[in-house]
Amino acid sequence: MRNDGVRIGLRLLEFECAITANIDFSHSAEMVDYETSRAAGQATRLAMLIRGQDVIEDEQRLKKIAALELGILPPEYYVAKRLLMEADLIEERVTKTGKKVLNEKVSRINHADNYQRLGELWLHHDTRTPKEEALIYTLDEVVKAPTTLSSIQSLSDLTKNDRGAVIELGSNAGLIDSVDEEQNIYYSPLLWDVSPGKLAAFLKIATKTKFNDLITEIMERPGTDLTNAEDPLIIQAIRAGILPSYNVVSTGGQRVYSFAPYTGYLVSLDAEKTILDKARALVACLRYGSEAATVTRIRYPSLILNALTDISRNYRLKPHSELKLQYGMLVSKQIGRVIRSSIGGRYIFELIPTEDNLRACAIAKELVGLGELMGEKDPSASAVLHLVNGRIDHPLREVKVARRKRTARTDELADLVESLQSV
């Protein structure tokens, strides 16, 4: 994580949110040691606030909103603004009539890019103190999986007093908390949607390495099929609710799809937890459709989610015989309804287009996107024609050379793809 700008950016945002929400005297002497991280965190929050504005013509008003909504005082605002300018997320401009305005350049599609820019800025600034560095790295460790503080290098490098101060601040801010005082294992209550008691009980039987391996595997593919898991660790993790799991039953039998607890979102509010639950349920149903459906298998889950959120299709999927059972769970979670189609034996699934459900679809799309596979088919007739008429003659020449077992160079591969791209 040490050089991962995106993760750092996310941690900085969470750190600043937690300080603002949970620390009463956030301008105490102790907080001076966290100045760089707070400034970067405030810049991240400010970036999220102005996203979509394009132009801010009244900066004074923005300052007031930042003070009211984010608790960013005017002097802090200027520091955050400078950081945003350094990260090229805003720029100052003087109009033709001499008016000063701010141009907003925060990415609206690739959110990770915003976090990365600010995370990298934090990484390149040499003004950060060992204490704030330790807190950010610790937070990132415990967000991934509960861990012993002694295993976190940046925390171990601190003096005893500093270490105590960092842990105290982290605990008071609600960023880290221990599940078991004796073992000194910490987790992040802000970002784990599981019960601390169950987590503590589970960690008694799981070693850190095995647990980390399991979490890593499930994080790589949200909605991993663990129906036939025999590993006691997995069974215990599912039973204890450490791995949120969803049962889907349809014509292909019963399947269990599991998710890692942490999703990258702040899920502190109950309402957000409900949306996350809905998103996971959607992903579980789509995974079932991809892997266990007996009539038609879903090749592109994201297209199903697009169709579900498409107003021009009345938020409906096409009629299918398997829909009634497969999407039954979504009905019980009030995500949608199943309607009998006029075609015999077929059903239509229709999303109930509430704000929560639409957001759940958006989150589900992001979850699915992580592990989406592109279907492979034989080249169509027109594609074969391209090969025959020599439109990509360069790669065909290269195939001859390849018989002599020479591997392609980067520039040759780039040329080849350029030929494939040409329109």
Q: Which is nearer to other proteins, 113 or 162 (CB)?
A: 113
Largest CA distance in the chain: 74
Q: At what angle do helices 35-50 and 111-124 cross, to 10 degrees?
A: 160
Among 205, 343, 370, 413, binds other proteins (CB under 8 A): 413
Specify the residue, 204 or 386, whose C-beta has the smaller distance to other proteins: 386
Instruction: Indicate whether 402 belongs to the interface with other proteins (CB under 8 A).
Output: yes
Residue pair 38/16 in contact (Cβ under 8 Å)? The answer is yes
Calpha distance 149→179 (Å, rounded) = 12
Distance CA 185, CA 182 (A): 8
239 binds other proteins (CB under 8 A): no
Q: CB-based contacts of 232: which residues, under 8 Å, 6+ apart?
A: 205
380 binding other proteins? (CB under 8 A): yes
- Residue type, position 40, single letter: A
**Amino acid letter for position 371:** G
Q: How far apart are CA 200 and CA 179, in angstroms?
A: 5
Q: Which of 165, 115, 158, 106 is nearest to 140 (CA)?
A: 115
**HEC states along 246-297?**
EEEEECCEEEEEECCCCCCCCCCCHHHHHHHHHHHHHHHHHHHHHHCCCCCC
Question: Which lies closer to other proteins via its Cβ, residue 23 or residue 416?
Answer: 416
Q: Could you say which residues in the range 343-362 bind other proteins, by CB under 8 A?
A: 361-362
Task: Give the residue with the Cβ less far from other proteins, 50 or 155.
Answer: 50
- Does the footprint of other proteins cover residue 160 (CB under 8 A)? no
Q: Which is nearer to other proteins, 110 or 127 (CB)?
A: 110
**Member of 310, 370, 372, 390 binding other proteins (CB under 8 A):** 310
Residues forming a β-bridge with 348: 339
Q: Are 195 and 241 in contact (CB under 8 A)?
A: yes
Interacting span for other proteins (CB under 8 A) from 7-15, 40-48, 227-235, 375-383 = 375-383
405 makes contact with other proteins (CB under 8 A):
yes
Which one, 332 or 382, has the nearer CB to other proteins?
Answer: 382
Question: In 3-state terms, what secondary structure has residue 334?
Answer: coil
Residues 6+ apart with CB under 8 A from 305: 282, 286, 361, 364, 365, 368
What distance in Å separates the CA atoms of residue 184 and residue 231, rounded to the nearest whole number? 26
Q: Among residues 269 and 373, whose Cβ is nearest to other proteins?
A: 373
Q: Which of 29, 68, 373, 374 binds other proteins (CB under 8 A)?
A: 374
Where does this chain touch other proteins (CB under 8 A) — which range of 91-99, 125-133, 218-226, 250-258?
A: 91-99
Nearer to other proteins (CB atom), residue 342 or residue 410: 410
Per rule CB under 8 A, is residue 150 in the interface with other proteins? no
**According to the binding rule CB under 8 A, does residue 95 interact with other proteins?**
yes
**How many CB atoms within 10 Å of residue 368?**
23
Total of chain residues touching other proteins, rule CB under 8 A: 59
The rounded radius of gyration (Å) of the Cα atoms in the chain is 26
Q: How far is CA 290 from the centre of its chain?
A: 22
Q: By CB under 8 A, is residue 401 in contact with other proteins?
A: yes
Question: Please, which of residues 262-281 interact with other proteins by CB under 8 A?
Answer: none
| Residue-wise DSSP of 66-95 | HHHHH---HHHHHHHHHHHHHTTSEEEEE-
Q: Find the shortest distance in angstroms from Cβ 282 to other proteins.
A: 14
Return the range that interacts with other proteins (CB under 8 A); candidates 151-159, 225-233, 290-298, 401-409.
401-409
Looking only at residues 9 through 68 of this chain, which bind other proteins when binding is defined by CB under 8 A? Answer: 52, 54-55, 57
For other proteins, which is the closer residue by CB, 65 or 362?
A: 362
Q: Which is nearer to other proteins, 2 or 409 (CB)?
A: 409
The reply on whether position 109 binds other proteins by CB under 8 A is yes
Contact 87, 137 (CB under 8 A): no
Of the residues 3, 150, 382, 389, which one makes contact with other proteins according to CB under 8 A: 382
Which residue, 35 or 398, is less far from other proteins as judged by CB? 398
Residue 370 touches other proteins, criterion: CB under 8 A? no
- Chain mean position to CA 121: 21
Please tell me whether residue 235 binds other proteins under the rule CB under 8 A: no
Judged by CB under 8 A, which stretch of 14-22, 103-111, 161-169, 200-208 contacts other proteins? 103-111
**Interface positions with other proteins (CB under 8 A):** 52, 54-55, 57, 93, 95-97, 99, 101, 103-105, 107-110, 302-303, 305-306, 309-312, 361-362, 365, 374, 376-380, 382-383, 386-387, 392, 395, 398-399, 401-403, 405-410, 413-414, 416-417, 420-423
